[in-house]
Amino acid sequence: MLKRVLFLCTGNSCRSQMADGIINHDFAGQIKAVSAGTDPHGLNPKAVQVMAEIGIDISNNSSDHISLFDGEDFHWVISLCDDADSKCPTVFGVTVRAHFPFTDPPRATGTTEEIMTVYRQVRAQIRSQLGEFFRQQLQRN
C-alpha cells in the first residue's frame, strides 16, 4: 500500500517543494508526497533549478494552500519551517507528525553562487535527513 506524506512550509515555494520532489523520486512506489503552505506564494525558480541539477523535475508542481488537503488522511505530516509547524492544524488523520526545520534558502544573501550554494546545501540536507527518516519509518511497518 502506498503511504502518503504531506510536507508543510509557509510559502510552499522552496523547501516543501524540494522535499516533495525528492521523496516522490527516491521512494517511488512506496511513498506519495504532496506539499502545501499556510500562505503559498508560488514555486521558487531557484528550487526548480537545483532540483533539475539532480535530475528531479518539479517545474510543474503547484504552490497550494493547506486547505486543499482538508479531510485527507496521511501517514505523515511533516513541517519544514517553524511558522508552518506552529500553524499546522490537527484535523488531518495522521499516524506520525514530525518537524524538520531546514534553513530557508530564499533568505540567503551574497553572490549568486553563494546563494545557490545555500539552495544546494538545503537540498542535500532534505535528501539526507528525510531519506533516513523514511527508511526508518518504512522498516517499522
The three three-digit cell numbers of residue 64, written as one number? 497550494
Residues 6+ apart with CB under 8 A from 111: none
The three three-digit cell numbers of residue 42, written as one number? 508560488
Alpha-carbon distance of 3 to 74, in angstroms, equals: 7
- Domains in the chain: boundaries: 3-140
Q: From the candidates 5, 6, 8, 9, which is the catalytic residue?
A: 9
67-90 pLDDT, tens digit each: 999 888 899 999 998 665 555 655
Q: What is the CATH number of domain 3-140?
A: 3.40.50.2300
Look at residue 124 and tell me whether its pLDDT is greater than 70: yes
pTM of the predicted protein model: 0.92
Q: From the candidates 5, 56, 78, 88, which is the catalytic residue?
A: 88
Q: Active site includes 88? A: yes
95-121 pLDDT, tens digit each: 788 999 999 999 999 999 999 999 999
Q: Active site includes 14? A: no
